[in-house]
Amino acid sequence: MSCLKLSNVNLGYNKHTVVKGVSLELCTGEVVGLIGPNGSGKSTLLKAMCGLLHPSSGQAILDGTEIAKIPRETLACKIGVVPQLSSLPDSFTVLDTVLMGRYPHLGLLRYESKKDIAIVCEAIKRTGIEHLADRRVGEISGGERQRVVIARALAQEPRFLLLDEPTAHLDIQHQLEVMELVTSLAGSGLGIAIALHDFSLASRFCHRLVMLKDGSVFKEGTPKEVMTTENIKHVFGVTAMIYSDLASGPLVVNTAISRTDSDNSHRRIHIIGGGGSAAGIIQKLHNEGYRLTIGVLNQGDTDLSTARALGIEAIVIYPFAAVDDAAHQRNLELAAQADCCIVSNVAFGWANLRNLEAASVARRLILVNDIPISERDFTDNQATEIYNALRNNAQCIVSADISERLENILAQEEVKNERS
């Protein structure tokens, strides 16, 4: 198996170090995604992997040989590059442009042979641009131009292909087409390193991910190991929902949730929900930075899916099972430890009645009552009796007011503590 390695490299420009002590290995047959904020070193690493930038310390190695010692023409026959910004001659045809990829194999003053033409035609076929072969580059779309650049790199017959943000500025269809092409190329034996900004594309199409922060490797592993709410929050400073796509299986990373501005991370909130009744509350309070826990939930519950997508601790029992002693005890502990406990508009039956009982140990309690308890009580009035008893020491609100009322309750308590 052929391998391309970076071993403890430091990289930079004009004495300014950008990458510090990074080791990375790329083997044939795999797709390795580089993710990280702008300036974290993704493009710099790719330049080192293809020999455009030499390490100030450490080594870049191809199949046991230091890349700096490999002649440029030889290296170009083994490593293809798709840069972030590709300048293509608009007046050239697609066929002529892809033919440029044969230059490392031709040498000085040599014309393309039938073999070279066959290799170029195969690269054009693999990238699905046969119908564009006679078109001028200036006449085709951005997505089509990207495929031309990839075809030109494939015409080099490389063992490794390095792509720097190849989906940038492309529409959704062309993004997917490029990434599907990348995985098919890896399936045919190429080793591919690709810098990406789209978390979901990286999770869906890459075998391994390398998450970079400030020029160093923050986390490396499978998409599930790397793409966690904690890692994304730490590296990118934003919150995210992460869940498995029910149809296709890969992770989906929803980064549409807004950036957390306030620091509520020292405030612990325990939520008692179920049946999807707390999903909106969970998302809202998580986005505002609170430390959340939730329980007790059955496997398959929508609230549980939301909690897991956000990396929130949840007490879980089997589907359709009643709250058992162990789960109830943990629920009591979390409710008692929290700065505030919130009971959502959850319906109560005999199986989850103990969830309502657990709310009685809360130091501060909020009851969300968009729907009257009488309409959610399936326990012959027992849930209503417990609920009404809890009201004596609780704040009753509608869900739309949750943020403001919670903030007021916690602020009042902090003032009280300061005075005492």
Q: In CATH, what number is assigned to the domain containing residue 69?
A: 3.40.50.300
Eight-state DSSP code of residue 155: T
Q: In angstroms, rounded to a whole number, what is the distance separating the alpha carbons of residues 13 and 26?
A: 24
Q: Which of 290, 295, 233, 284 has its CA nearest to residue 267? A: 290
Which residue, 237, 258, 278, sits at the end of a domain?
A: 237
Eight-state DSSP code of residue 364: S
Same-domain pairing of 232 and 116: yes
- Residue 325 domain-assigned (yes or no): yes
- Burial class from Cβ neighbours inside 10 Å (0-12, 13-18, 19+) for residue 29 reads middle
State both tokens at 313.
């601790």
Phi, psi of 13 (to 5 degrees): -135, 125
Q: How many domains does the chain have?
A: 2
Task: Report yes or no: 395 and 367 within 8 Å, Cβ to Cβ.
Answer: yes
Same-domain pairing of 321 and 212: no
Return the CATH number at 385. 3.40.50
Q: pTM surpassing 0.85?
A: no
Same-domain pairing of 288 and 353: yes
- Residue 244 domain-assigned (yes or no): no
- Residue 279 domain-assigned (yes or no): yes
Same-domain pairing of 228 and 307: no
Same-domain pairing of 202 and 142: yes
- Residue 250 domain-assigned (yes or no): no
Same-domain pairing of 282 and 178: no
The identity of residue 348, as a single letter, is F
21: left (phi over 0), alpha (psi -120 to 50) or beta: left
Q: In angstroms, rounded to a whole number, what is the distance separating the alpha carbons of residues 213 and 137?
A: 37
pLDDT of 259 reads 44
Q: In angstroms, rounded to a whole number, what is the distance separating the alpha carbons of residues 365 and 271?
A: 10
Task: Report yes or no: 213 and 39 within 8 Å, Cβ to Cβ.
Answer: no
Same-domain pairing of 25 and 73: yes
Question: Cβ–Cβ contacts within 10 Å for residue 399, how many?
Answer: 18
Question: Cβ–Cβ contacts within 10 Å for residue 274, how many?
Answer: 25
Same-domain pairing of 50 and 193: yes
Q: pLDDT tens string for the chain (420 positions)?
A: 789 999 999 999 988 999 999 999 999 999 999 999 999 999 999 999 999 999 999 999 999 999 999 999 999 999 999 998 778 889 999 999 999 999 888 866 577 889 999 999 999 999 999 999 999 999 998 889 999 999 999 999 999 999 999 988 888 888 898 999 999 999 999 999 999 999 989 999 999 999 999 999 999 999 999 999 889 989 998 888 888 765 556 777 776 444 445 567 789 999 999 999 999 999 889 888 899 999 999 999 999 988 988 889 999 999 999 999 999 999 999 999 999 999 999 999 999 999 999 999 999 999 999 999 999 999 999 999 999 999 999 999 999 899 899 998 888 876 566 655
- Residue 248 domain-assigned (yes or no): no
State the residue range of the domain holding 363: 268-419
Question: Cβ–Cβ contacts within 10 Å for residue 259, how many?
Answer: 11
Which residue, 237, 259, 277, sits at the end of a domain?
A: 237
Same-domain pairing of 206 and 287: no
- In 28-132, where do the E strands start and end? 31-35, 57-62, 65-66, 79-82
Q: Which of 146, 144, 94 has its CA nearest to residue 120? A: 94
